[in-house]
């Protein structure tokens, strides 16, 4: 665009300057560009991660034109990470799916839906109810998840369905269920601010959950911040203590800490006796985890180990003096210690026991149910918690058990479904469904809002199996995902902002997100797609009551009745929007929850087990299945790249601003010592080879990874070709953090 000059020597103003003029906007927003001043605002909960930030949506003619973080929302207090800021712009991508695609060709909805039903019915009729499965997500609203789970299982008669939450949260679910009696993260974000000691294990919240880190920095108690991570991450840098243990030696470390805490009088005997089971067995089990052993296996020095335990015990880093032990815990002010874990724990070959080792530390020191304490799993996706409670996959709706006849009766009554339509067994886990597909017993899979062709461990193997399927359906916002490209049928879905419903965040907060944009082409809300499938399948009558997401919300409220996660007290969407979200439990029969917007569980020391006691769970650590070898001498860890990247980047990759925030090419973090051995320079292109595949990357030399270890961000589509597929036996969660590789120079 060429503009004509004004006949002055200097043009201080003009059309190009006007492009950037800002003016006062209303709604407390301060100055905004004149071109995008809103005429109204509304509120939404962000649809990326489990932090669950509140966003103020700027509206013009009822449609969203921009957004800013919501200063009144109790989660994020007026800030958001870049993904949240860009949540609207990723909706405008040219590769949005606008029409159904049958074998890559656009067809109308009628054709697509008939084809879907024909194929699914043929496969289920010919090969039985186990022959078709669905694999869903933590990214859609839980009303939609519930519809999918109910439709597939009660309506269409499938047995198996799981979610991509298997890749992120399954471990926390398994750990909490066994230890606490219910999948119940006990914390509220205020605990970040109330702790004296915060212990982060296998997490990098600075970039993975930056808004939670904001809460950590709001802590006025001058806390000790401890980070356990093999790498010197952003969070490790921001911590007061960093323990760079050997990869996957976390379980040993945690048992070693328990050993020291027992030795040094750190056990809260009153709490343990009154509220837990199995401590004696645990105590004798950890007797073997002497500092010598733990130091040898984790790579820490004994001073480091003692300092760590001592900080949990009494916050400040005193030397342990003999004679002090028998004085017991009342001698000093007991610090409030909170333990936080993320994917470094959840994605391990002994993940559940590792998470429970963290829970054990909280239980034995009495750090639970009080402000600033807890054994706290920070979840991944915006609706991971919704998926855990309401996806009807491995649990029957509302955290119930498929095997339990009373539960089936209850859910049948709550949903109005005939009880005989409710399967009497839970689903296979994700990896087992894929294995069944390989063996040929599962012949059709319906993927909703997830991209396993990129994200699943040992990706080439996954893709080989997907290509064997008789019928592969992908329901997604984008037609360009690696999985959609393999699909026989793609169903175009509306995304966050183009539909309404609720998410449940890490601290159990249910938040509402409205429809503020029109979906492109004929893309439909997942909710509508499920309604249509129910109709075309011929089971529309069963879902007569399920007309709107809020209708389903009501159904799920009924399902939650009497459960730990009861939400019967919530009035509806209007209340959720008005109140800044509501944490479960929120019972109709009890009004205490209305008093405060930050609530934690177990304040009365009563857990959700039969006898209301928490349980100490533990197992002997075993070595990760894939070890270094002469051929593959380096351990590859994978994880988050930057705060601007989300999973397989089907969404974040569509924002030019977010793309700018990450390196253009895949960077391999490599220690300078290893680089010197290999004769590799900073910024040089190298080949990373595992037993399964190889890829090229540019080196980024840094002593933040230790010699013998390398790191790759998971967002690049090739990285999971390298990873070794092993699974936690209890949670069936893949272990992404420990694969053997070598690095080669490209000549």
Triad 622, 377, 427: Cα angle to 5°: 75
Which of residues 50, 66, 252, 638 is near other proteins by CB under 8 A?
66
Could you give phi then psi for residue 727, rounded to 5 degrees? Answer: -135, 145
**How far apart are the C-alpha atoms of 386 and 503, rounded to whole Å?**
6
> Nearest distance from residue 494's CB to other proteins, in Å?
6
Q: Is 337 in the site for other proteins (CB under 8 A)?
A: no
Q: Is 4 in the site for other proteins (CB under 8 A)?
A: yes
Q: Is 656 in the site for other proteins (CB under 8 A)?
A: yes
Q: Are 710 and 635 in contact (CB under 8 A)?
A: yes
Neighbouring residues of 297: CB distance < 8 A, sequence distance ≥ 6: 246, 249, 252, 621
Q: Is 22 in the site for other proteins (CB under 8 A)?
A: yes
Stretch that binds other proteins, among 159-167, 316-324, 449-457, 519-527 (CB under 8 A): 519-527
H helices within 166-249, ranges in order? 170-180, 190-194, 205-208, 210-217, 234-238
Residue 474 or 662 with smaller CB distance to other proteins: 662
Other C-beta atoms lying within 10 Å of the C-beta of residue 111: 13
Q: Which of 259, 245, 261, 323 is nearest to 291 (CA)?
A: 259
H-helix or E-strand spanning residue 243: strand 241-243
**How far apart are the C-alpha atoms of 195 and 217, rounded to whole Å?**
11
Residue 301 or 703 with smaller CB distance to other proteins: 703
Residue 4 or 595 with smaller CB distance to other proteins: 4
Q: Is 475 in the site for other proteins (CB under 8 A)?
A: no
Q: Is 1 in the site for other proteins (CB under 8 A)?
A: yes
Residue 184 or 577 with smaller CB distance to other proteins: 577
Q: Is 94 in the site for other proteins (CB under 8 A)?
A: no
Q: Is 413 in the site for other proteins (CB under 8 A)?
A: no
> Nearest distance from residue 351's CB to other proteins, in Å?
26
Cα–Cα distances (Å) from 165 to 146, 169, 172, 352, 384, in that order, read: 15, 5, 10, 15, 6
Stretch that binds other proteins, among 62-70, 131-139, 594-602, 622-630 (CB under 8 A): 62-70
Residue 24 or 323 with smaller CB distance to other proteins: 24
Q: Are 46 and 512 in contact (CB under 8 A)?
A: no
Stretch that binds other proteins, among 52-60, 145-153, 168-176, 439-447 (CB under 8 A): 52-60
Q: Which of 314, 315, 318, 313 is nearest to 303 (CA)?
A: 318
Q: Is 62 in the site for other proteins (CB under 8 A)?
A: yes
Which of residues 43, 336, 349, 651 is near other proteins by CB under 8 A?
43
Other C-beta atoms lying within 10 Å of the C-beta of residue 224: 21
Residue 9 or 330 with smaller CB distance to other proteins: 9
Q: Is 642 in the site for other proteins (CB under 8 A)?
A: yes
Neighbouring residues of 320: CB distance < 8 A, sequence distance ≥ 6: 264, 306, 310
Q: Is 93 in the site for other proteins (CB under 8 A)?
A: no
Judged by CB under 8 A, the chain residues 184 through 243 that form the site for other proteins are: 206-207, 210-211, 213-214, 217, 232-238
Which of residues 219, 460, 522, 609 is near other proteins by CB under 8 A?
522
Which of residues 405, 413, 588, 657 is near other proteins by CB under 8 A?
657
**How far apart are the C-alpha atoms of 171 and 388, rounded to whole Å?**
11
Alpha carbon of residue 351 to chain centroid: 15
Could you give phi then psi for residue 218, rounded to 5 degrees? Answer: -80, -5
Q: Are 744 and 687 in contact (CB under 8 A)?
A: yes
Residue 116 or 608 with smaller CB distance to other proteins: 116
Judged by CB under 8 A, the chain residues 264 through 293 that form the site for other proteins are: none
Stretch that binds other proteins, among 5-13, 424-432, 449-457, 721-729 (CB under 8 A): 5-13
Calculate helix-pair angle for 526-537, 109-127, nearest 10 degrees.
60
Judged by CB under 8 A, the chain residues 554 through 583 that form the site for other proteins are: 573-574, 577-578
Neighbouring residues of 663: CB distance < 8 A, sequence distance ≥ 6: 641, 700
The partner residues of 455 in beta bridges, in order of sequence, read none
Stretch that binds other proteins, among 170-178, 372-380, 641-649, 736-744 (CB under 8 A): 641-649
Where are any strands of DSSP class E within 244-397? 276-277, 337-341, 374-377
3 state SS of 507: coil
Interaction pattern, residues 702-741, with other proteins; x per rule: CB under 8 A: xxx-------------------------------------
Q: Are 103 and 403 in contact (CB under 8 A)?
A: no
Judged by CB under 8 A, the chain residues 102 through 121 that form the site for other proteins are: 102-103, 109-111, 113-115, 117-118, 121
Residue 480 or 642 with smaller CB distance to other proteins: 642
Interaction pattern, residues 670-699, with other proteins; x per rule: CB under 8 A: --xx-------xxxx-------------xx
> Nearest distance from residue 24's CB to other proteins, in Å?
8
Q: Is 346 in the site for other proteins (CB under 8 A)?
A: no
Q: Is 661 in the site for other proteins (CB under 8 A)?
A: yes
Judged by CB under 8 A, the chain residues 477 through 496 that form the site for other proteins are: 494
| 39 DSSP 8-state letter | S
745: left (phi over 0), alpha (psi -120 to 50) or beta: beta
Q: Is 745 in the site for other proteins (CB under 8 A)?
A: no
Which of residues 29, 93, 320, 678 is near other proteins by CB under 8 A?
29
> Nearest distance from residue 60's CB to other proteins, in Å?
11
> Nearest distance from residue 746's CB to other proteins, in Å?
12
**How far apart are the C-alpha atoms of 91 and 518, rounded to whole Å?**
10
Q: Is 544 in the site for other proteins (CB under 8 A)?
A: no
**How far apart are the C-alpha atoms of 463 and 307, rounded to whole Å?**
47
């Amino acid at each position: 665009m060429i503009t004509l000059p004004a006949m002055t020597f200097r043009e201080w103003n003009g059309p190009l300057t006007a492009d950037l003029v800002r003016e006062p906007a209303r709604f407390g927003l301060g100055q905004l560009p004149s071109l995008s001043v809103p005429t109204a605002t509304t509120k939404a909960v962000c649809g990326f991660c489990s932090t669950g930030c509140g966003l103020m949506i700027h509206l013009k003619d009822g449609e969203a034109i921009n957004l800013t973080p919501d200063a009144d929302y109790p989660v994020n207090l007026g800030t958001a990470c870049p993904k949240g800021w860009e949540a609207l712009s990723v909706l405008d991508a040219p590769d949005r799916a606008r029409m159904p695609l049958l074998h890559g060709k656009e067809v109308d909805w009628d054709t697509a839906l008939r084809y879907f039903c024909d194929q699914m019915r043929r496969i289920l009729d010919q090969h039985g109810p186990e022959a078709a499965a669905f694999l869903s997500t933590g990214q859609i609203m839980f009303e939609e998840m519930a519809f999918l789970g109910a439709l597939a299982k009660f309506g269409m008669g499938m047995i198996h369905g799981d979610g991509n939450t298997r890749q992120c949260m399954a471990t926390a679910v398994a750990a909490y269920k066994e230890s606490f009696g219910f999948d119940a993260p006990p914390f509220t974000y205020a605990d970040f601010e109330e702790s004296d000691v915060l212990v982060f294990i296998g997490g990098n919240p600075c970039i993975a959950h930056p808004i939670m880190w904001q809460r950590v920095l709001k802590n006025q108690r001058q806390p000790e911040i401890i980070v356990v991570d093999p790498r010197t991450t952003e969070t490790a840098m921001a911590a007061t203590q960093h323990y760079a243990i050997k990869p996957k030696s976390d379980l040993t470390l945690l048992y070693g800490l328990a050993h020291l805490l027992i030795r040094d009088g750190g056990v809260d005997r009153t709490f343990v006796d009154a509220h837990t089971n199995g401590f004696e067995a645990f105590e004798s089990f950890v007797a073997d985890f002497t500092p010598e052993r733990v130091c040898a296996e984790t790579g820490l020095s004994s001073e480091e180990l003692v300092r760590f335990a001592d900080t949990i015990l009494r916050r400040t880093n005193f030397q342990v003096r003999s004679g002090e032990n028998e004085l017991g815990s009342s001698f000093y002010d007991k610090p409030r210690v909170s333990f936080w874990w993320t994917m470094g724990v959840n994605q391990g070959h002994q993940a559940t026991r590792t998470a429970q080792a963290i829970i054990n530390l909280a239980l034995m020191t009495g750090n639970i149910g009080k402000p600033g304490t807890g054994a706290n799993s920070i979840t991944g996706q915006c609706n991971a918690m919704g998926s855990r409670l309401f996806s009807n996959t491995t649990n029957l709706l509302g955290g119930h058990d498929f095997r339990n006849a009373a539960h089936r009766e209850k859910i049948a009554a709550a949903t109005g479904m005939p009880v005989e339509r409710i399967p009497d067994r839970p689903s296979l886990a994700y990896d087992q469904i894929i294995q069944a597909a390989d063996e040929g017993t599962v012949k059709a899979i319906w993927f909703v809002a997830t991209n396993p062709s990129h994200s699943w461990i040992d990706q080439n193997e996954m893709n080989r199996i997907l290509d064997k399927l008789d019928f592969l359906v992908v329901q997604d916002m984008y037609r360009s995902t690696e999985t959609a490209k393999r699909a026989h049928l793609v169903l175009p879905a509306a995304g966050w902002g183009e539909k309404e419903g609720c998410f449940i965040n890490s601290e159990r907060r249910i938040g509402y997100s409205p429809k503020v944009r029109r979906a492109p082409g004929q893309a439909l809300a997942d909710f509508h797609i499920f309604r249509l499938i129910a109709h075309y399948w011929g089971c529309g009558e069963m879902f007569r009551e399920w007309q709107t997401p809020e209708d389903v919300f009501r159904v799920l409220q009924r399902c939650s009745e009497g459960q730990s996660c009861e939400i019967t007290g919530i009035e509806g969407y209007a209340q959720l929007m008005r109140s800044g979200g509501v944490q479960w439990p929120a019972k109709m029969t009890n009004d205490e929850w209305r008093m405060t917007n930050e609530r934690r569980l177990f304040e009365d020391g009563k857990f959700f087990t039969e006898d209301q006691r928490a349980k100490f769970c533990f197992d002997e650590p075993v070595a990760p299945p894939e070890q270094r070898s002469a051929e593959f001498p380096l351990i590859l860890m994978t994880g988050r790249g930057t705060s601007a990247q989300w999973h397989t980047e089907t969404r974040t990759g569509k924002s030019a601003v977010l793309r700018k925030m990450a390196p253009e090419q895949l960077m391999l973090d490599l220690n300078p010592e290893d680089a010197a051995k290999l004769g590799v320079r900073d910024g040089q292109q190298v080949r990373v080879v595992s037993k399964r595949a190889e890829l090229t990357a540019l080196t980024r030399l840094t002593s933040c990874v230790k010699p013998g270890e390398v790191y790759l961000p998971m967002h690049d589509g090739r990285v999971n070709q390298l990873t070794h597929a092993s699974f936690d036996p209890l949670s069936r969660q893949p272990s992404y953090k420990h694969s053997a590789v070598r690095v080669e120079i490209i000549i």
